Structure 1
Amino acid sequence: MKKFLMAFLGTLAGIWFSLFIAFFGLLLIIAAAGVSSLGRSKVVQVNDHSYLKLVLAGELSDRPGQLDPIAVMRGDKTVTQGVNEIVGSIDASAGDDRIDGIVIDCRGSSAGLAKRQAIVEALKRFKDAAPEKWIYAYGDIYTQGDYYVATAADSIFINPIGQIDIHGLSSTRYYFKNLLDKLGVDVQVVKVGTYKSAVEPYILDGMSAPAREQEELFLSNIWENIAGEIAEARKVSADTVNHWANGSIYAAPTEDYVKMHIADRMVYRHEFDSIVAYATGVGDVNDLNPVTPAEYCQVNDVFRKGDGGSANIAVLYACGDITDETGEGIVARTMVPQILSLADDKSIDGLIMYVNSGGGSAFASEQIWEALEQWKSLTGKPFFVSMADYAASGGYYISCGADRIYAQPTTLTGSIGIFGLIPDLKGLISGKFGITTSTVATNPNGAMPSLLQPMSPAQQASMQAYVDRGYELFTARCAQGRGLSQDSLKMIAEGRVWDGSEALKLGLVDEIGGLDAAIQGMAKRLDATSWTVRNYPERKEKWYDLLVEAGADIKADIVRDELGEMASLYDTLNSIKGMSTLQARMEAMDVNL
């Protein structure tokens, strides 16, 4: 009877579990189908006397995000804005008679320096192309990054009790050596490059002199560029901007912002709406016609110049960590076939790779580099690179073979170096947990690599030789791509990170400018007066594609929800788990305005 009862309960549990899975799957299908229709649910019309409304809120990514079926089930319908659509909409609206002007609504956004610079450059082009149109910025509280974008406006409006933050740049890193010592974990490092500081958090308790030297230089150069642009826009000196940054102006009375010419007028939001209504000639704020970049892109092909018939330019987005097999960034297993597929597409006249990556797997970087070399040899067509916030270490590896490289002054690039990290957990396992191990091996390296014992001197030497060979290959690829001798290249390598302006002087890049400049340069190379830009990888739009993609992330999403603020640690551990032995990766840093 007991066995029968247990079997019955087990069967019942199985049925309930199956029903739960089926119900959850049905919810996923409904959510995914909803995702595919949400983008089409609103009929977009661009009427006369409309204005382009840039809402600087949340994360601004390189390309627009997609609605996540799991997030939709939770009631979150937020889609990350794509800078490519924002820039494209600004450029296209300059010649659109239906668009009277642009409103920059500053609500606190997160974006890398080069992304913000791309938006500012587009706003400047808008003013040059359509001087009769206006650009207004409004904010209750201006973060420094949003304020930088807002300075491209004709007028900056602020809430009468609002704030503006200008404080300069900084970069903070965490060091784990003391924690690892307490845990009994020893991290064995093999590397090449005096400035290759990505390993420092695991072996030092503070920043080394070379690391501080490089960061002081590129932070100083980047801030000089940003402060100079703000000064030019606000018609003050760069010293004045630095005075603002030194003076804790976020705590100043709002009226002082107008006195110091940081802002132009203090108005409440409803008053600002009336100003926009007057500027568009509609009279009543209820008749305002705002159009977001995402909406504008639904009814206008912003990736086409003229009739688009002279040339087809492929823009391949390479963003995120570089990995061998899996991941959400640049995965060699899928990127290589994508490049070779583009080589087979006879309709493509030129390729631009948009790179926003601090690197990753050295092996994967080599595979992508080789695929791009194949593209060049198979097609004989031009290949350019446009560098965004980061194109460093592995990100530079995959870029170095381009015919022409574009970078923003704020781009962090270079970091030409290689390292490997092999943790030794013997102190943790034995010293802390009291667990001992015994190993039997047929050969001296039979247990190599082992996390339970340190490397022998011979093994350490072999690993260093392996890393040295990787560095020789890396520097040879870069020297070949940049037309330099390998010895000359090594003098500016050593794992050192450079800002875009410095990289131009050193010959690591060819021209200062963003993706727009790269597209213009490609069109000139192709002698094209009109062109169409095709973005790759192509976005998944079908609900069943989204469902498959979402299904793979269900576990991760649930874990992230449960971990809350600790979710970033989970992501870091997952990233480390998937790392290959040899890494071409710059140090983890966030340099945000």
Structure 2
Amino acid sequence: MRALSLLMLLPGLALAQTGLIVQPASPPRGVTLPPTSAALVDEATALSVNPAGLRFVGPGQLFYLHERNLVRDQVGDGLYLGTTLGGLGAGFSLEWMRGRGLPDYRKTSFGLALGSRRLSLGVGYHNLSSRDAALDKLSGFDLGLTVRPTRFLSVAAVVKDVNAPVEGPFTLPRRYNLAVGVRPLGERVTLGADYLASEGAWDEGRLTYTVQAAVVPGFGLGAGLSHGLGSDRTLALQLAATLDSSQFGLTYAGGGAEGGGMDHVVAVRLSSQKYPALDFSGGSVAMLDLDDELRERGGTLSLLGFSEPDPYLRLARWMDEATRDPRLKGVVLKVSGLPGASWGKAEELHQAVLRMRAAGKKVLTVLYSVDDLEYFVGSAADEVYALPSSSLLINGLAAQVISLGGTMEKLGVTWDVARVGEYKTAPEQLTRRDMSPAQRETIEAYLDSQAAHDVAAVTKARRITPERFQEAWGHGILTAAKARELGLVDGVLLPEELEDKLKKLVPGASYDPTYSPRDEREGRWTGRRRIAVVPVLGNISGGKSRKPPLGGEAVAGAETVALALERAQRDPKVAAIVLRVDSGGGDVLASELMYRAVLEAKKHKPVIASMGDVAASGGYYTAMGADEIWASPTTLTGSIGVFYFKPALRGLLGDKLGVNQETISRGPMTEVLGSWKPWTEAEQKAVQAWVDSAYDDFITQVSVARKLDKAKVDAMARGRVWAGSAAKERGLVDGLGGLLDAVEAARKRAGVPPGEELDLVVVGDARGLFSSLGGEPGVDAGALPELNLGAGVEPALPPGVRALVREAGLDEAWVLEPGLKAVLPYTLRVR
């Protein structure tokens, strides 16, 4: 039993023992519990005090209690089971009572509770079994209510034996319990008061006062007093102490009523959930495998719509909570890959490791097979080691762009293009044989920025000169020994040496393979307030956000994002919203809808945008409506522009393959979006006017949202991609930092006190394939056809074909579908 519960006073004793003093013929309620209260009880033993408390039990608990009073010749044993699943709590107990001049009997109880952490309603059923015929027939019902409106207040009301059963000489009168609990100094100290009375005997009730304190994690003390208000002024006193380990607890409670002798109670707890425990060690060391943590875990269940939060968001939350966990003293960072991460996320992970170190955690990196990106993250640790056979491809950065213009010429395919700005070069991958000067200029600038940041961050973390680091680039592939010689690692580590290294780095700590931050039972009466993270991850499209179950790019659906923002702004527990954007853009209409949803949300709560690896074009469009925009120094952002292009396949299908297409139309431009023949001059002008209008709308909205002159926006827009640091210089973003920096900015804008803990919750996760067949609940279905939110569904290509398409630079195959596009102008990977 947790420390706080065992410190509480004696409502259980008052109910049972003082009831015997007043009505000697009535059977006791059951085993006397260690001190607790109807307003405070939240474990499996709640079934004996207030069935509403079963809602707060958590994962499975088992309690065994033994009671002995030599003066009253009373012996009792009780077994209690309880668990909570979602908003439903359930309990079961068996109690055996012997002595007190009554026949031996067994009490069997069942209970259910339904509600939330703020409000719970419970019902309990009790049945007595005995060789005594009258006692064998007694059974009763209890009703309970617990309300916890704040972290500091709990109120409860219980009606016991609602049916007031009477069998022969035995009676269980209807009784009432009103209770209140307060925590004036947080979870360390709890005060409670209960008023207990039988129906029709209100002036003969009893008051119970409770004080409980958690001395240190895993050890608690308490005391309390119960006394009558009427003719029976009998005092009852109970003291208790508890020792807790993670999943085992031992409690001793001693006390009793005046003239009733000493009542001894011993309670043993077994639980699947960890409790705050006495810790005589030097803390825990955890293993963090980045390659494993960043991989999707949905499996085939994602086909049915079951999926976990985005792996990166899950990892970021883990690292933040672990940084603030006093139990954690060190981390072994296993670095062998960063699935789905580029330089923006790598920068955030690098900073997260530095935050751990600043919080007093020791971090040891073990490198497996890594390149510059993975090494960049691992280099932030206190100590960095390579294995003897590690492959260290730390040889500088390069950007590659594949052009397919020559291939199209051989195939006889031509492309019609309408765009604004020489930097909106997405169609050039299909129309040119090489990079245009504008495309080369942009990539050169970004690569210079990224390389400089890589050198600066690594050399600072490793305390080596830039010349030494760049010398390593000249070796192509480093051996572990060479990396040590150059100062990139602290040594070559054999697996059997890891334990000794940890002992030296984190003296006294022990490795915990099951460590998880905040996996212990919390004593809070209500949950924390929240920062809602709304993800915009992948290609922007209409409909629902979704993850292809067989691999491929995620889709950020306008419908899901808009609904998530609406839910977050209406949720009273959400203090602020962080819009997490990691998208190169997509459909213009969908981007516009998301942007409008952001504008609406920030009327109600602060909205901060956090940019990941990329937030370009439609991704930037979505983010620019936020109160503040945060980007990593190397986030690809900007690309403010619009384009439309389509193929003309007559040369391939007609001239080379003999396919013939004839069109009968009733309008001059019915084939303006057709893929058979090139545009006429009139069609070209019409589409260009369409694109120009969309571009003008885009830069107008940027100038309004960012409070910039429209001409200035136009000058730095026109499809140009910027690194995050360059974007900040131009006023496109407000701050340089990652997700947690955006969360901190959201806290400040929401006026959250510095000491208040908040939960990070993801609202609007992408779902599996089948879930995308229906609309999001709560969205007006009548508006969907007008908004065209169902457009742009990604084709389900096999993973192998997807990989081939991505290598060719066409991983955004949906750009070929009709509709204006605001998307990053090329596939850019820097490794």
TM, length-normalised to structure 1: 0.80
Match for residue 73 of structure 2? none
For residues 64-116 of structure 1, the C-alpha deviation after alignment (integer angstroms, 9 at most, x for no partner) is: x442226999xxxx989833333333333344343220111122333211211
Match for residue 193 of structure 1? 421
Look up the SS of the partner of 1:450 in the other structure: coil
Match for residue 588 of structure 1? 826
Asked whether the equivalents of residues 810 and 827 of structure 2 are also in contact (C-alpha less than 8 Å), the reply is no
Shift of 1:231: 0.5
Shift of 1:136: 0.8
Shift of 1:259: 1.9
Shift of 1:448: 3.1
Look up the SS of the partner of 1:114 in the other structure: helix
Shift of 1:325: 3.3
Q: Which amino acid aligns with 1:506?
A: R
Q: Which amino acid aligns with 1:368?
A: M
Tell me: CA distance 1:422–1:562, structure 2 relative to 1, closer, same or farther (3 Å).
closer
Shift of 1:571: 12
Look up the SS of the partner of 1:389 in the other structure: strand
Look up the SS of the partner of 1:109 in the other structure: coil
Shift of 1:494: 1.1
Match for residue 407 of structure 2? 179
Look up the SS of the partner of 1:398 in the other structure: helix
Greater shift in the superposed pair: 444-453 or 116-125: 444-453
Match for residue 513 of structure 2? 290
Shift of 1:297: 5.9
Which of the numbers 384, 394, 411 marks the counterpart of 2:618? 394
Between structures 1 and 2, the one with greater helix share? 1
Asked whether the equivalents of residues 56 and 146 of structure 1 are also in contact (C-alpha less than 8 Å), the reply is no
Asked whether the equivalents of residues 355 and 390 of structure 1 are also in contact (C-alpha less than 8 Å), the reply is yes
Greater shift in the superposed pair: 356-365 or 264-273: 264-273
Match for residue 726 of structure 2? 502
Tell me: CA distance 1:242–1:172, structure 2 relative to 1, closer, same or farther (3 Å).
same
Distance in 1 (alpha carbons) for counterparts of 2:458 and 2:587 = 38
Tell me: CA distance 1:44–1:139, structure 2 relative to 1, closer, same or farther (3 Å).
farther
Asked whether the equivalents of residues 640 and 718 of structure 2 are also in contact (C-alpha less than 8 Å), the reply is yes
Match for residue 491 of structure 2? 265
Shift of 1:300: 8.5
Look up the SS of the partner of 2:829 in the other structure: coil
Distance in 2 (alpha carbons) for counterparts of 1:269 and 1:151 = 19
Distance in 1 (alpha carbons) for counterparts of 2:338 and 2:750 = 37
Match for residue 314 of structure 1? 532
Shift of 1:536: 3.3
Tell me: CA distance 1:504–1:196, structure 2 relative to 1, closer, same or farther (3 Å).
same
Match for residue 56 of structure 1? 290
For residues 529-587 of structure 1, the C-alpha deviation after alignment (integer angstroms, 9 at most, x for no partner) is: 224244333559xxxx86954999xxx99962675854758996884277442110012
Shift of 1:588: 3.3
Which of the numbers 367, 376, 385 marks the counterpart of 2:602? 376
Tell me: CA distance 1:582–1:59, structure 2 relative to 1, closer, same or farther (3 Å).
farther
Tell me: CA distance 1:149–1:518, structure 2 relative to 1, closer, same or farther (3 Å).
same
Asked whether the equivalents of residues 401 and 480 of structure 1 are also in contact (C-alpha less than 8 Å), the reply is no
Largest Rg, 1 or 2: 2
Match for residue 669 of structure 2? 445
Match for residue 222 of structure 1? 450
Look up the SS of the partner of 1:136 in the other structure: strand
Identity across matched positions, percent: 26
Unpaired runs of 5+ residues, structure 1, are 1-35, 37-41
Asked whether the equivalents of residues 636 and 722 of structure 2 are also in contact (C-alpha less than 8 Å), the reply is yes
Distance in 1 (alpha carbons) for counterparts of 2:609 and 2:812 = 29
Asked if residue 524 in structure 1 is aligned to residue 756 in structure 2, the reply is: no
Asked whether the equivalents of residues 85 and 297 of structure 1 are also in contact (C-alpha less than 8 Å), the reply is no
Q: State how 1:201-280 maps to structure 2 within 5 Å.
A: 201-248=429-476, 250-251=477-478, 253-276=479-502, 279=505
Shift of 1:242: 2.0
Look up the SS of the partner of 1:57 in the other structure: helix
Asked if residue 101 in structure 1 is aligned to residue 330 in structure 2, the reply is: yes
Asked whether the equivalents of residues 361 and 579 of structure 1 are also in contact (C-alpha less than 8 Å), the reply is no
Q: Which amino acid aligns with 2:322?
A: S
Match for residue 457 of structure 1? 681
Q: Which amino acid aligns with 1:148?
A: F
Distance in 2 (alpha carbons) for counterparts of 1:166 and 1:174 = 23
Distance in 2 (alpha carbons) for counterparts of 1:376 and 1:320 = 23
- Aligned-CA RMSD value: 3.5
Asked whether the equivalents of residues 646 and 816 of structure 2 are also in contact (C-alpha less than 8 Å), the reply is no
Tell me: CA distance 1:513–1:569, structure 2 relative to 1, closer, same or farther (3 Å).
closer
Look up the SS of the partner of 1:355 in the other structure: strand
Tell me: CA distance 1:524–1:574, structure 2 relative to 1, closer, same or farther (3 Å).
closer
Asked whether the equivalents of residues 59 and 80 of structure 1 are also in contact (C-alpha less than 8 Å), the reply is no
Look up the SS of the partner of 1:427 in the other structure: helix
For residues 200-234 of structure 1, the C-alpha deviation after alignment (integer angstroms, 9 at most, x for no partner) is: 10110110011111111111111111110100111
Match for residue 202 of structure 2? none
Which of the numbers 355, 374, 381 marks the counterpart of 1:146? 374
Distance in 1 (alpha carbons) for counterparts of 2:697 and 2:797 = 40
Asked whether the equivalents of residues 359 and 585 of structure 1 are also in contact (C-alpha less than 8 Å), the reply is yes
Distance in 2 (alpha carbons) for counterparts of 1:539 and 1:332 = 12
Between structures 1 and 2, the one with greater strand share? 2
Tell me: CA distance 1:527–1:308, structure 2 relative to 1, closer, same or farther (3 Å).
farther
Distance in 2 (alpha carbons) for counterparts of 1:101 and 1:518 = 26
Distance in 1 (alpha carbons) for counterparts of 2:481 and 2:395 = 19
Shift of 1:409: 0.3
Asked if residue 353 in structure 1 is aligned to residue 579 in structure 2, the reply is: yes
Asked if residue 385 in structure 1 is aligned to residue 609 in structure 2, the reply is: yes
Asked whether the equivalents of residues 429 and 826 of structure 2 are also in contact (C-alpha less than 8 Å), the reply is no
Asked whether the equivalents of residues 405 and 510 of structure 1 are also in contact (C-alpha less than 8 Å), the reply is yes
Tell me: CA distance 1:101–1:487, structure 2 relative to 1, closer, same or farther (3 Å).
same
Look up the SS of the partner of 2:619 in the other structure: helix
Distance in 1 (alpha carbons) for counterparts of 2:535 and 2:378 = 27
Tell me: CA distance 1:43–1:223, structure 2 relative to 1, closer, same or farther (3 Å).
farther
Q: Which amino acid aligns with 1:68?
A: G
**Quick one: higher RCO (CA 8 Å, sep 6+), 1 or 2?**
1
For residues 98-156 of structure 1, the C-alpha deviation after alignment (integer angstroms, 9 at most, x for no partner) is: 322011112233321121111111111121121xx421111243332221112111111
Distance in 1 (alpha carbons) for counterparts of 2:486 and 2:653 = 61
For residues 441-466 of structure 1, the C-alpha deviation after alignment (integer angstroms, 9 at most, x for no partner) is: 22212333221222110110000000
Greater shift in the superposed pair: 445-454 or 487-496: 445-454
Look up the SS of the partner of 1:416 in the other structure: coil
Asked whether the equivalents of residues 308 and 532 of structure 1 are also in contact (C-alpha less than 8 Å), the reply is no
Q: State how 1:336-351 maps to structure 2 within 5 Å.
A: 336-351=562-577
For residues 287-309 of structure 1, the C-alpha deviation after alignment (integer angstroms, 9 at most, x for no partner) is: 742346xx4465589xx9xx975
Match for residue 33 of structure 1? none
